Amino acid sequence: MGSSGKNMLNIIITFVILPLAIANRQPPIVDPGILTQSKSLGECQACKLFVESFKKGLERTSRGKYEGGDAAWEEEKLKLSYKRSEIRLIDIQEGICKEGKYSLQCHHMAEKAEEFIETWWAQDPDENTDLLQYICIDNLKVCCPQHHYGKDCTPCPGDHENLCSGNGKCRGDGTRKGNGTCLCDPGYTGENCDQCMTGYYLSYKDDTKMLCSACHRSCMGGCRAGSQKDCVACKAGFAFDSDEGCLDINECDDVNKCTKNQFCMNSIGSFTCMTCDKSCDTCHGDGPDMCRKCAKGYIKKGEFCIAEREDEDQSEKLTTTRYLTYLGLLIATGILLPRSASLGSIVGAMVLSYIVGAEYYCMINGHMGLVDLKNYDLSQIFQT
């Protein structure tokens, strides 16, 4: 059969050509997470992946190939011969273990399973055979039936309907690994996961089921129930109150908690010191509007502390530029006016309205203006 040759080709592609192709394109980036994740996949899990993938292959090829065959009877004959053919098995195996991040482990398992698959295929098998049982449990011996563990598939101890009190699982359940003891869910402890861990309390119990729930976050040690009043003791950052139980301490009430250039932020069970904005000397929050006192070089303007120099400089510069622009425009008009009275007066009117507009804009935005325009009637200016 040609499938081992095909496998060889697959291996060459996977291990030689592909890595080379990738390495040529960009420097290889190895994500350490992928390596450790791959290792964490057990052999039984890999075998299950392979079986799932093989079943999908069976499905994919179940309708047969319809190449050639003109007449219906011919087609039917081809379909029948394809169903149990080596060709179909190869078609299945070619498409196997292609998906998911564990495809390498899946391929590895597929190689191990190949001889058993071929034997099975040769027997004209029922396609509904439990392949998990046949491959992974009986032949490759990497899995066990449900609720069995270890290399001899020992039954998990206890009631199989309610293993580990329903709050955990038998170590190695369904695999050839583990020792059958209970691995409890978070919050549960005890040989049979029938006790609550420290920090949890019994919130429900009947004949078959028990539930443990987490204590309130303010509790230290255990608790009787779920509220902050039920704590055995309070955690650091909480103080006991005879009415309310464990209450958050507001560390920020102590003004000396943080240094001079910081403000204090309380949080449940703790607090943080944050640096004030650079415009503040002392502050009660974040930003230039939360200063108690402005830093050196900054002055208070409304709620904000703003840079002293910067503010003056900038408005001075702006005003100077503005006046120079007006001057330029007026000179241009003056040059133009003697040459053409009509054109000059039009340009003059435009320049005038520009200046009036600009000054008006400055005024409503709080800048210093040339004149206080509120005293003038704008229409009067335009009529002249």
Q: Give the footprint of ligand NAG on this chain (CB under 6 A).
A: 171, 179, 181
Quote the least distance from Cβ 183 to ligand NAG, whole Å: 8
Q: What are the start-end ranges of the E strands in the chain? A: 148-149, 154-155, 168-170, 182-184, 188-189, 195-196, 200-205, 210-214, 219-223, 231-234, 238-241, 245-248, 262-267, 270-275, 280-283, 291-294, 298-301, 304-307
**Distance from the first to the final alpha carbon of the chain:** 107
β-strand partners of 246: 240
Cβ distance to ligand NAG smaller for residue 149 or 298: 149
Beta pairing, strands 238-241 & 168-170? unpaired
Q: How far is the CB of 221 from ligand NAG (least distance, A)?
A: 25
**Nearest CA-CA partner of 252 in 274, 236, 235:** 274
Q: How far is the CB of 190 from ligand NAG (least distance, A)?
A: 14
Instruction: At 211, list the tokens.
Output: 């539930």
Name the closest residue to ligand NAG (Cβ): 179
Q: Is 304 helix (H, G, I), strand (E, B) or coil?
A: strand
3-state helix, strand, coil in the chain (%, to 5): 45, 20, 35
Three-state DSSP class for residue 79: helix
One-letter amino acid identity for 43? E
User: Residue 173 or 277: which CB sits closer to ligand NAG?
Assistant: 173
Return the number of the residue (57 or 180) whose C-beta is nearest ligand NAG: 180
Shortest distance, CB of residue 150 to ligand NAG, whole angstroms? 10
Please report how close the Cβ of residue 179 comes to ligand NAG at its closest, in angstroms.
4
Q: Which is nearer to ligand NAG, 169 or 229 (CB)?
A: 169
Q: In the complex with ligand NAG, which residue's Cβ is closer, 117 or 184?
A: 184
DSSP summary character for residue 143 = B
Q: How many CA atoms lie within 13 A of 246 on its CB side?
A: 22
**Is the CB of 179 or the CB of 198 nearer to ligand NAG?**
179
Q: Min. distance of Cβ 46 from ligand NAG in angstroms?
A: 20
How far apart, in whole angstroms, are the C-alpha atoms of residue 219 and residue 238? 9
Task: For ligand NAG, give the closer residue by CB, 174 or 288.
Answer: 174
We find the least distance from the C-beta atom of residue 191 to ligand NAG, in angstroms, to be 10
